[in-house]
Amino acid sequence: MDAKSAPAIKRRPWATVALALWTVALTVLLTRAGLQPHRLSSLATYLNGGAAWQTSSPLYTDWRGFVYPPVIAWFFSILRDLPLTLAAVLWRALTAGTFLFGLGALLRSGVFRRIPPGSRGLVFIAVLPLSIGNIDNAQANPLIAGLMMLAVAAFQTESWTLCAFAAAVSIAFKIYPVALALLLCLLRPKQLSWRIALILLLLALVPFALQDVHYVSAQYHAWLQTRLADDRFHYPMKDAPLDLWYLLVRLGNLPVSVRLYEAVQVIAGIALAALVWVRSRRGVSIADNLAVLYLLVSVWMLLLGPATENQTYVVLAPAAALLAIQTIYSGSRSSRILAFAAYGFLLAAVCRNSLIPSLKSPAFMAIQPIGALILLAAISCELRAATPASPR
């Protein structure tokens, strides 16, 4: 062995451990999906949407049922044509693969460059317990989280079409990633705005080429109606979104009106955009600005977004893992403590889901939004402690 190869070998252990753990976890998960394809999961809801599309039936008949736009129903109609065992395995493989590929792309892009290359495996290890249950339950959230990370990574490498595609597809599944797309467009409007708009338009038009025009038009109308009528502020407690409203009003009984809360949502979004813009004007490197953008927009979507459920917190898992590992190598002691505390709260919520799923008291369900608040505090500490970055 020559001297040059020795350092490379020394950097491999964490990556090797991460690869082994993910390989075992995904092998067990996909085998279980293949052996028990009828097991209750989110895939059943998605395939019902695909079946409704195939038979030109109404897509939006249940407020808790299929909630995605028609183009997603068409996508799941493709899986619906496959044997259920194959569909169950392929869907989970797609969500897990996109999630891991997006995380790998984000790390390789240098956005989180303060994490040494030899320690990137730690991020994959840290994110495993926070995400594997979501993948097992066949949720779309890991796919969305992976696409968001891929969009940020592609932005860093100036792969504008890939960035726009990843952002647009994530928006097509769930509307809230539009916050990420808007922030990226703020930094590079000429490169991204028209690309994202064009891809979204194409995605919206695809269903008209694949189904009866009148049926598709009716489904778009029904989708918009059901989304606009979905008043999550007045959900029963057991279905309430786990966000800042949950902490302030549901648990804290504070006299916060819906209008005031909506104003807070908008103001926080504007403040985030202003922060990103000011940092870019002050010469903060693209990588450092993207890291802050990704972390803060992830927190905003969970704390102040329109549809935060228990399973949605997998979107925050990469941010929590990335910041926790980053603070090991750089950052203040307070940011490190807060980052690991946030990760601990999110992990505790996963343990509650897996080990004691019946424990759904309002106080225990608040673990996740509290974790998001602590993560926000950790990011704030990192911002305060950051030294001025070198110009681009």
pLDDT of residue 358: 72
- For the chain, what percent of residues have pLDDT higher than 90? 79
Between 165 and 384, residue with greater pLDDT: 165
- What are the phi and psi torsion angles at 366 (to 5°)? -80, -5
**pLDDT averaged over every residue in the chain:** 91
pLDDT tens per residue, range 241-281: 899 999 999 999 999 999 999 999 999 999 999 999 999 99
Is the residue at 70 inside a domain?
yes
Q: What is the pLDDT of residue 11?
A: 52
Indicate the number of domains in the chain. 1
148 has pLDDT over 90: yes
391 inside domain? no
Minimal CA–CA distance to 124: which of 292, 325, 379? 325
CA dihedral in degrees (238, 240, 242, 244; nearest 10)? -140
The conformational region for residue 257 under phi > 0 = left, psi -120 to 50 = alpha, else beta, is: beta
Residue 194 lies in a domain: yes
Q: Does some domain include residue 345?
A: yes
In a domain, 115, yes or no: yes
| pLDDT band, residue 390 (cuts 50/70/90) | very low
pLDDT recorded at residue 231: 81
Domain that holds residue 13: 5-385
Sign of CA dihedral 325, 380, 366, 262: negative
Average pLDDT over residues 289-309: 93
Is residue 340 included in any domain, yes or no? yes
How many other C-beta atoms can be found within 10 angstroms of the C-beta atom of residue 300?
22
Q: Is 112 inside a domain boundary? A: yes
316-345 confidence digits (pLDDT tens): 999 999 999 999 998 789 999 999 999 999
Domain assignment present for 148? yes
Q: What is the pTM (predicted TM-score) of this model?
A: 0.93
Distance, CA of 35 to CA of 30 (rounded, Å) = 9
Residue-level pLDDT at 160:
98
